[in-house]
Structure 1
Amino acid sequence: MKKNQTQIDMLKDIAMQIIEKCDGLPLAVKVMGGLLRQKRMRRREWNNVLNHSVWSVSQMPEELNYAIYLSYHDLPPSWKSCFLHYSLLPKGTRFYVHEVVAMWISEGFVHGDSHDLEELGRQYYEELILRNLIEPDKKYIDQEVCSMHDVVRSFAQYIARNEALVAHGIESGIFGTLNSKKFFWVSLESTGSESDELEWSSLQNHISVRTLISVGPIKFNLSYSLLSFSCLRILHIQYAKFDTLNELFFRLKHLRYLSVKHSNISKLPESIGKMKFLQYIYLFGCQRLVKLPGSTGKLQQLRLLNLSGTSIHHIPRGLGVLTNLRKLFAFPAQTDGEWCSLEELGPLSQLTELHIRGLENVPSSSFASKAKLSEKVLLSYLRLSCTSRHGHDGGLVKYDEKIFEEKQRLIEEVFDELCPPPCIENLPILKYFGRRLPKWMMSTAVVPLGNLRILTMVDLPFCAELPDGLCQLPCLEFLQIDRITSINHVGRKFQQPSRHSVLGSIVDLEVLESPELERICNLPKLQRLCISMCPKIKELDGLSALHTLNLEDYDMKTLPGYLQGINISHLQIYCDISLLTSIAKGNSSPEWDKFYHIQQVKAYADDDNNDDRVAQKWYVSYTRDPFSFETNYIGASTFVSGEGEEEAMSLRRARKPLPPTRCLRRFPSEPEM
């Protein structure tokens, strides 16, 4: 520690000079920090950054920020290509890391053994994060979704201007101004207005296009218009209106990446089996799509198949020969006749991510055992889900008591056979209607889950207890419990430290829609807690590291009493307008004693009685030190006496509210995985 402090002191003068060169721009300082963290803590290396020739360029184009240019210049060539390619993605559209990496691989930017391409691409992605060139979206854990700052995006698009056509928010006639540049990348985004008619005749002259990204209801004849792009490697079409791909589509023989997300496509061409280089297929949100072509089994290079959000309930037999598959999302668990069953998952030994849905359709646990999940030594993500609720909880299907008990017994046996391998890191379980969790989760040792980092359990209506064995998971970082309506307590061993480790290692916990839960306790490392729609919780105890608490309950009439007994720095509340009205009264409110000791409190409510078309967003914002109390609620009659009275008198009641951010973070598998 002393050595590090000495190095820091030694470099402080250089750091301050670099900050000065950033002209006080926070983004520039942030990017420079990302660059310097890649350097050794030696004066010579930091001086090289300080004295770089780019700082002396007097006529730098407006689009080229000095700090971003230095960070870009420091990237290896392949990372530069990945960075520039990322700037093509329309900023209002969510792209998951596996989509981004798949594009990079398809373009040939990721170099290495074919077995490790996705892992290498993920490393490139994380390197751009470390350098602050892209920023993780905090609503998603594990950096699954990122964004790019507008200034960084403008810089990247300027650098790539001679090779990339980026038209976001396009208007009629834009392609009439195209010059003779030879574009390799084209990214289009439609606003959805009537004027969004594209002049494809001018675009089709650019036969060298390798990446085509189109987002929005752009009107064009997809099948025939694309055939002129003979070099196309990446085709990402989103929210477009077209019914099918022409049988001649296979002529795009260099295509590696095909995404038609959220389109109204109802059929894929049988000739798709001829596309020998096709590696990635995204069909998410194509609700009219009910089947895959029989030739799908001929795509020997296929590495990813995403069927989430489609109406595909059967897959033609032959999937088991696609041994290059790394990621398979929304595989339907059917066993009828000529359709692919869980048995065909057995040979897929290269899988790293797998989602199986419709597990209530498996007629016997023997089918589940043939999937050989425990033998898949590369599998890090496993999502197990049923597709509908069952039984007596208001679900879609009703059974008499005996039939339902038999179905519960069967689903328990099926899940028992779906034991993941020890390398599993991320495990979502959804709509499971068994009375107990699988045996491999109930064991006191929980051997298969030793590397588990993220555990999500959603909509498990009949499970009444969390297993004791979870307390022994050494690597668990994130636990989300959502709509486990029967749970009313957790096992004692779950709450108590063990010899080996604790669940107590959790730093982030979300508990959602668990109406019978009464206590959360003995989690000494927990830092952030979100409680949503859990009205019976009366006690928070043993949470010594907790600093952030988010509460969401629109039926909550008063703040919970346990707030008085916890020492946190940040409290965020989403509540009914009546409770916000009370909070807005400041120290004259009956709620004041529950929250005044907290450093920062923010409360939000919607006024559904507002006459405006969009409901008014009301807020209260309180800071203890230095004192401040703000609200935009018109009916507030706030007064705060004693220390901070003068500050309170300057209470702002602007009609324009702060935009509330919901407390919930979604696990990375929802909804597009």
Structure 2
Amino acid sequence: MVPRGFSGLTNMRRLYMFRAHMDGDWSSLDELGPLSQLRVLVLTELENVSASSFAANARLDEKTHLIKLFLGCTSKLGDDGLVKEKEGVSEEEQQQIEKVFDKLYPPPGVEFLQINGYFGWQLPNWMISTSMVPLNNLKTIFLYDLACCTQLPNGLCQLPNLQFLQVSRAPCIKHVRTGFVQAATASFSRLNKLSLFNMVEWEEWEWEEQVQAMPRLEELVLNNCRLRHVPPGLASNASSLKILFLEHVKQLSYIESFPSVVELTVNGCPDLERITNIPNLQKLNIQNCQKLKVLERIASLERLLLEDYTMEKLPEYMRDIKPRYLQLFCRLWLLYVVAAGQSGTEWDKFSRVEHVKAYAPDGDNQRKWYVLYTRGDNCKLDSNISSSTIFEGTENQTNIQALSLFV
């Protein structure tokens, strides 16, 4: 805690971990009012503020030198990204925290904003409608652990200099509506990176093809959600998109028509079946996507990383592509079949690749066993694996029986 009398430090530039307590001999938000020289301010435990008037007395909007602002509450979410059963939020608590945050609006010069643990039904009014406070210098926004918010604020797309937006853990958001990108003619005009993490119930993203937005977006990360479809507006308008990262995106069955993407990662997408029409794709990482059957119209592919310790054979789509480099991580006995080279059943799936590095794990060593193949050197193939290695390292009898078909 910070003792009372703190307001006398009027030349303070940086203040971290200021805990918002309202009783005893400790400083309250009132004492932040005179600190007009602050550049960095980190406020925590704002759920303890009993009235919005205390927040207003902090006079954040008058701190013209403030560049970085952190507003935090104690999170009400568990490890699964859902509201803890014992941390239920009443309507009265929601209304109170909304009033408090409405009075904590930043000054126009702030460049970095992070909000943690906020549990209001909607984000502060100064984020929903940026006309209330012209945050024209804001470049980075992090929103973490939004326990009760049901939608992303429409006002963000109007911020003229916003370059990086990250939202993590917002279990009540199921739909991202058209207003998120349609509230202005130049929506997200300078946004460079968008990351949406652990929005575990998110299913739908509305963005029609004719709605122009995110023309400078270069990197998009979607993680741990239930998104059924990537919106058509993204592919047609995000003309600068270079990196697309999809991890644990459930229900997504296809990815197609991203002309500018050069690097794509799909990891743990259980329903993904096809990737098509990404003509400039150079690097493709596929990890644990067992239903993926089709790779088409990716003629520029240079590097393919394939990681799956459950597959019994190389995917059939390997016959339809010709990357220059292949890096493979698989189970031990499949690696042995690859090591068989021209006499093995998988030869025609990787023989056209110029350079192959394939590995199987042993304990914590992910690259204990290897197969190295170079097509241009008389199809040279090198490996440290043998049949005795297989039978010593295989613990599952089913795998032994399958292996016997190739020995």
Same fold by TM-score, threshold 0.5 exceeded?
A: yes
Query: 1:371 aligned to 54, 58, 62, which one?
Result: 58
AA matched with 1:646: R
- One-letter identity of the residue aligned with 2:84: G
Out of 349, 352, 366, the position equivalent to 1:646 is: 352
What residue number does 1:395 align with?
Answer: 84
For 2:136 and 2:327, the matched residues in 1 are separated by 47
Deviation at 1:520, TM superposition (A): 6.8
For the Cα contact (< 8 Å) 1:530–1:550, is it kept in 2?
Answer: yes
Residues 344 and 543 of structure 1, relative CA distance in 2, 3 Å threshold: same
- C-alpha separation between the residues in 2 aligned to 1:446 and 1:595? 48
C-alpha displacement of 1:564:
2.4
Aligned to 2:13: 326
TM-score, normalising length from structure 2?
A: 0.68
Secondary structure, counterpart of 1:410 in structure 2: helix
Change (3 A) 1:422 1:537: farther
Residue of structure 2 in register with 1:570 after alignment: 263
Counterpart amino acid of residue 195 in structure 2? E
Alpha carbons 1:513, 1:534 under 8 Å: kept: yes
- Equivalent position of 1:347 in the other structure: 34
Cα distance in 1, alignment partners of residues 196 and 302 from structure 2? 22
Aligned to 2:25: 338
Partner of 1:193: none
The answer (yes or no) to whether the contact 1:574–1:604 under 8 Å persists in 2 is no
TM-score (norm 1): 0.43
Matched, 1:529 2:220: yes
Q: CA separation of 1:393/1:573 partners in 2, compared to 1, >3 Å: closer, same or farther?
A: closer
| Partners of 2:204 and 2:325 in 1: CA distance | 33
Q: 2:67 aligns with which of 361, 380, 385?
A: 380
Partners of 1:438 and 1:594 in 2: CA distance: 45
CA separation of 1:412/1:640 partners in 2, compared to 1, >3 Å: closer, same or farther?
farther
| Superposed displacement of residue 597, structure 1 | 5.1
CA distance in 1, matches of 2:322, 2:262: 11
CA deviation profile, 1:108-139 (whole Å, cap 9, x unmatched): xxxxxxxxxxxxxxxxxxxxxxxxxxxxxxxx
Q: 2:94 aligns with which of 398, 408, 411?
A: 408
- Aligned-residue offset at 1:543: 2.3
SS at match of 1:593: strand
Q: Is the 8 A contact 1:505 1:526 kept in 2?
A: yes
Code of the residue aligned with 1:532 in structure 2: it is N
In the alignment, does 2:119 pair up with 1:430? no
Range 565-574 or range 464-473, more displaced: 565-574
> Which structure's residues are more often helix, by fraction?
1
- Could you tell me how far apart the structure 2 residues matched to 1:320 and 1:472 are? 35
Q: In structure 2, what residue type is equivalent to 1:551?
A: L
- Kept in 1: contact 2:64–2:107 (CA 8 A): yes
Match of 1:440 among 93, 111, 126: 126
2:325: which partner in 1? 628
State the Cα deviation string for residues 389-417 of structure 1 (Å, max 9, x = none).
Answer: 18995427445x7xx11111000000000
Q: Distance in 2 between matches of 1:373 and 1:509?
A: 27
Verify the 8 A CA contact 1:383 1:427 in the aligned structure 2.
yes
Structure 1 partner of 2:230: 539
| Aligned equivalents of 2:306, 2:353: Cα separation in 1 | 21
Instruction: Report the CA distance between 1:492 and its aligned residue.
Output: 2.9
Match in the other structure for 1:29: none
Unaligned runs of 5+ in 1: 1-313, 609-620, 659-673
Distance in 1, Cα, partners of 2:266 & 2:330 = 15
- The Cα shift of 1:466 comes to 1.8
Cα shift at 1:317: 0.9
State whether residues 43 and 72 of structure 2, in contact with CA within 8 Å, keep that contact through their aligned partners in structure 1: yes
Work out whether residues 440 and 447 of structure 1, in 8 Å CA contact, stay in contact via their aligned partners in 2.
yes
Of the three residues 204, 207, 221, the one matched with 1:518 is 204
Task: Work out which of the residue numbers 253, 274, 287 in structure 2 matches 1:561.
Answer: 253
Distance 2:178 2:303 in 1: 33
* Partner of residue 593, structure 1: 295
Equivalent pair of 2:328/2:358 in contact (CA under 8 Å): yes
SS at match of 2:359: coil
Change (3 A) 1:378 1:594: farther
Separation in 1 of the partners of 2:347 and 2:240? 30
With a CA cutoff of 8 Å and minimum separation of 6, indicate the structure with the bigger relative contact order: 2
Q: Is contact 1:631-1:653 (8 Å) kept?
A: yes
Please state how far the C-alpha of 1:592 moved relative to its aligned partner: 3.5
How large is the RMSD of aligned CA atoms in angstroms?
Answer: 3.7
Checking the alignment, whether the CA contact within 8 Å between 2:13 and 2:39 is kept in structure 1 is yes
CA 1:370 to 1:390, structure 2 compared with 1: closer, same or farther past 3 Å?
farther
Aligned residues: 320
- Residue 584 to residue 438, structure 1, CA distance change in 2 (3 Å): closer
Q: For the residues of structure 1 that align with 2:64 and 2:149, how far apart are their CA atoms?
A: 29
1:405-454 deviation digits (Å, cap 9, x = unpaired): 11110000000000100001111111100001111111153533211100
Distance 1:603 1:481, change over 3 A: farther
